[in-house]
């Protein structure tokens, strides 16, 4: 399902030296004995997810598709990035679906918020508000504004019917409000943190609302769980990848650049940045995750990658099969000089850009390249890929000897902001 190609890593990476550590850590993950062990619910979630809730998610998704023009997904960080990554990866950036998804609650920008609210004025919309704590400022502000607009447009009763809340099963302001107003609610399990929650209702409801097959996604994740929950390092690409990351971190690299050649996978890069950045960036350790979308960014970042400060390695997510394609035609005047491509598919040209860049960066530039290959992008493969990265992130974090499941540092800005806003 996933092939890890280590043929372009410049160095010969001594994977065997990680064998014992991987064995110990894998047991720590499976037995839930490591740091942050009360947040390991995601490891077995593809098998023991709540089946009754899963059916309710599918029903709610159908109701949203059948009755509304727009679904506003209102959340931030782990409460929105996974859904957005999946929706764009599976549907593309110009989807033909009837339902449109709009994201709000991920910014305090009045420019963005006002424009979205203005756009929604004459749209039939539903809201999926997603917040585990139920108190995140960006999300809470956006939700209040959305709710007011909806009530103004269609009245309180219909508005409350159009609100779907994904939150903690018992605690928090959103849960209290949902119970008081009778919104449909979906649960974020106690033992699954935001950035590991894409396969819970957090991601599944919006993904299903767009018409994607979430059962196939869970099946893919389950296969990944079965493939990667073992310490057989030489047959486990997930842990090999984690060790490779650790090798580069301990050998003068401080940045991991995620690379895609598909604009519709750009948000997977955003999801990865949160997953690895928030999991590893603590105790003054961790690789800085960044991302580019090629060939677009070869025309902006390509120069630095090729010849700049040698601080990075690249991780390319390569999906072999294109969902859409076209063949280049002959032009009798050939003024643009492109007739040499006659009869070639556009996906073939993209593939050659990838191969040429791989060689340029790794051979000429001596920038290590790790290639993660998948045959195609569909729900099953994406579920598999999500789990691959989450498990690799847990292994990577433990290799760094940090807690991959907390995020103490994100509270500092909030405290300062609340003080400046006069909350306390």
- Give the residue among 28, 40, 15 at the shortest CA–CA distance from 398: 28
278 catalytic per annotation? yes
- Residues forming the site for ligand PA5 (CB under 6 A): 76-79, 131-133, 136, 139, 193-195, 278, 407
Taking the complex as a whole, the smallest distance from the CB of residue 135 to ligand PA5 amounts, in Å, to 7
What H or E segment, with its residue span, contains residue 62? helix 51-67
Closer to ligand PA5 by CB, 133 or 347: give it: 133
Handedness of CA 377, 304, 301, 341 (dihedral sign): negative
What strands lie across the sheet with 312-319, from one edge to the other? 2-8, 369-374, 312-319, 255-260, 288-293
Taking the complex as a whole, the smallest distance from the CB of residue 39 to ligand PA5 amounts, in Å, to 10
Closer to ligand PA5 by CB, 76 or 393: give it: 76
Whole-number Å distance between alpha carbons of 271 and 77: 8
Query: What secondary structure, in 3-state letters, does 344-405 show?
Result: CEHHHHHHHHHHHHHHHHHHHCCCCEEEEEECCCCHHHHHHHHHHHHHHHHHHHHHCCCCCC
Handedness of CA 263, 281, 204, 320 (dihedral sign): positive
Half-sphere exposure of residue 16: CA atoms within 13 angstroms, side-chain side: 1
Beta partners for 319? 374
299 catalytic per annotation? yes
DSSP for residue 327 = B
Closer to ligand PA5 by CB, 43 or 79: give it: 79
Closer to ligand PA5 by CB, 369 or 407: give it: 407
The dihedral region occupied by 99, where left means phi > 0, alpha psi between -120 and 50, and beta the remainder, is: beta
345 catalytic per annotation? no
Closer to ligand PA5 by CB, 147 or 361: give it: 147
Whole-number Å distance between alpha carbons of 152 and 159: 9
- Give the residue among 268, 250, 248, 176 at the shortest CA–CA distance from 6: 248
Closer to ligand PA5 by CB, 231 or 280: give it: 280
The backbone torsions φ and ψ at residue 8, rounded to the nearest 5 degrees and listed phi first, read: -125, 30
Taking the complex as a whole, the smallest distance from the CB of residue 132 to ligand PA5 amounts, in Å, to 4
Q: Residues 414, 415, 419, 423: which is the catalytic one?
A: 414
Taking the complex as a whole, the smallest distance from the CB of residue 242 to ligand PA5 amounts, in Å, to 19
Closer to ligand PA5 by CB, 143 or 258: give it: 143
Taking the complex as a whole, the smallest distance from the CB of residue 10 to ligand PA5 amounts, in Å, to 33
Whole-number Å distance between alpha carbons of 160 and 330: 57
Taking the complex as a whole, the smallest distance from the CB of residue 146 to ligand PA5 amounts, in Å, to 15
Chain mean position to CA 9: 25
The backbone torsions φ and ψ at residue 96, rounded to the nearest 5 degrees and listed phi first, read: -95, 0
Catalytic residues: 278, 299, 414
């Amino acid at each position: 399902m996933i092939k890890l190609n280590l043929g372009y890593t410049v160095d010969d990476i001594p994977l065997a030296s990680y064998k014992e550590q991987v064995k110990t850590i894998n047991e720590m993950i499976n037995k839930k004995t490591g740091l942050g062990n009360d947040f390991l619910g995601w490891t077995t979630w593809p098998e023991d997810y709540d089946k009754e809730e899963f059916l309710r998610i599918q029903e709610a998704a159908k109701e949203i598709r059948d009755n509304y023009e727009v679904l506003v997904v209102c959340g931030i960080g782990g409460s929105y990035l996974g859904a957005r990554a999946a929706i764009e990866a599976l549907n593309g950036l110009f989807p033909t679906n009837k339902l449109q998804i709009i994201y709000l609650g991920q910014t305090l920008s009045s420019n963005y918020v006002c424009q979205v609210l203005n756009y929604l004025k004459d749209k039939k919309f539903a809201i999926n508000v997603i917040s585990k704590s139920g108190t995140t400022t960006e999300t809470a502000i956006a939700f209040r504004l959305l709710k007011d607009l909806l009530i103004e447009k269609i009245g309180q009763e219909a508005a409350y019917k159009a609100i779907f809340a994904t939150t903690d099963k018992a605690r928090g302001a959103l849960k209290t409000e949902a119970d008081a107003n009778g919104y449909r609610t979906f649960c974020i399990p106690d033992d699954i943190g935001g950035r590991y929650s894409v396969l819970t209702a957090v991601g599944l409801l919006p993904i299903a609302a767009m018409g994607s097959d979430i059962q196939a996604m869970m099946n893919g994740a389950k296969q990944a769980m079965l493939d990667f929950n073992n310490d057989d390092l030489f047959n486990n690409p997930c842990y090999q990848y984690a060790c490779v990351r650790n090798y580069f971190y301990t050998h003068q690299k401080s940045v991991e650049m995620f690379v895609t050649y598909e604009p519709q996978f750009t948000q997977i890069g955003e999801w990865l940045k949160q997953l690895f950045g928030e999991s590893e960036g603590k105790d003054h350790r961790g690789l800085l995750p960044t991302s580019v979308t090629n060939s677009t960014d070869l025309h902006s970042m390509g120069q630095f990658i090729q010849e700049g400060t040698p601080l990075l390695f690249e991780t390319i997510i390569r999906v072999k099969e294109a969902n859409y394609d076209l063949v280049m035609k002959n032009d009798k005047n050939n003024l643009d000089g492109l007739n040499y491509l006659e009869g070639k598919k556009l996906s073939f040209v993209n593939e050659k850009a990838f191969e040429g860049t791989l060689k340029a960066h790794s051979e000429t530039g001596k920038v290590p390249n790790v290639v993660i290959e998948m045959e195609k992008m569909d729900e099953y493969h994406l579920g598999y890929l999500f789990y691959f990265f989450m498990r690799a992130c847990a292994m990577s974090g433990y290799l760094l000897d940090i807690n991959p499941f907390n995020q103490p540092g994100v509270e500092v800005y909030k405290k300062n902001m609340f003080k400046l806003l006069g909350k306390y």
